[in-house]
């Protein structure tokens, strides 16, 4: 178990976790924000949005179940798990750009993105719980807010980059997802209330 942090350093922990959560959850609806472009570029049916959205959600549910069954966050450092999942989630998010994509390959890429999001959102909550025995509810409230803003961010990005190549949204969301994972991994060691 890690020793308790000094008060000034601990005050920085929550903002770092929240920023990391915001950045890394931006890949969640990155595909939805560019669905018109995906439909046009890969000759998808108009109902592809529902399938791609369901693929991410199903991936997230599957990943969360697997992480729970194998106790990943208890066996390994949650910050390392978060970082690795941010990298892998970002990689599969970039799968949208594969030139030979069709509905099946896009569904696989979005499903795998969802699987690794299970190592971002729930693990981020676990990291917050490892740090904040008191005021945990408030901390988790900030985490949920970061998730909401992070998942909505690709739509904001799409609105501000109208006329710019849609692929930039995939690149940028993947970039900040990795950045968020790196930020958390670098500055947030195992929390003082973590139990293995």
**Looking at the domain assignment, is residue 146 inside a domain?**
yes
Predicted local distance difference test score (pLDDT) of residue 88:
98
The structural domain count of the chain equals 1
Question: How much is the pTM?
Answer: 0.91
**Looking at the domain assignment, is residue 169 inside a domain?**
yes
**Looking at the domain assignment, is residue 193 inside a domain?**
no
Predicted local distance difference test score (pLDDT) of residue 3:
43
Token pair 């690794």 is found at 116
User: Which DSSP symbol is given to 60?
Assistant: H
Predicted local distance difference test score (pLDDT) of residue 9:
65
- Domain with 64, as residue range(s), is 23-187
CATH number of the domain encompassing residue 106: 1.20.1250.20
CB neighbour class for 165 (10 Å; exposed up to 12, middle 13-18, buried from 19): exposed
Q: Is the pLDDT of residue 4 over 70?
A: no
Confidence of residue 5 (pLDDT cuts 50, 70, 90): low
Residue of 112, 1, 11, 106 whose CA lies nearest to 63: 112
| Window from 82-86, 134-138, 155-159, 164-168 with minimum mean pLDDT | 134-138
Q: Which carries the bigger pLDDT value, residue 160 or residue 172? A: 172
Tell me the pLDDT tens digit for each residue of 45-98.
989 999 999 999 999 999 999 999 999 988 999 999 999 999 999 999 999 999
**Looking at the domain assignment, is residue 16 inside a domain?**
no
């Amino acid at each position: 178990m890690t020793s308790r942090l000094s008060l000034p350093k601990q005050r920085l922990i929550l903002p770092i976790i929240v920023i990391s959560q915001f950045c890394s959850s931006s890949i969640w609806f990155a595909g939805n924000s560019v669905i018109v472009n995906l439909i046009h570029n890969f000759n998808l049916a108009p109902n592809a949005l529902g399938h791609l959205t369901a693929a991410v959600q199903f991936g997230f549910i599957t990943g969360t179940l697997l992480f729970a069954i194998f106790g990943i966050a208890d066996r390994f450092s949650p910050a390392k798990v978060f970082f690795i999942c941010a990298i892998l989630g970002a990689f599969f998010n970039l799968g949208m750009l594969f030139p030979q994509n069709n509905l099946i390959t896009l569904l696989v890429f979005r499903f795998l993105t969802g699987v690794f999001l299970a190592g971002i959102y729930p693990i981020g909550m676990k990291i917050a719980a490892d740090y904040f025995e008191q005021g945990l509810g408030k901390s988790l409230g900030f985490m949920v807010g970061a998730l909401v803003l992070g998942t909505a961010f690709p739509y904001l990005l799409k609105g501000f980059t109208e006329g710019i190549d849609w692929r930039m949204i995939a690149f940028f969301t993947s970039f900040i997802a990795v950045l968020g994972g790196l930020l958390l991994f670098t500055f947030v060691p195992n929390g003082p209330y973590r139990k293995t």
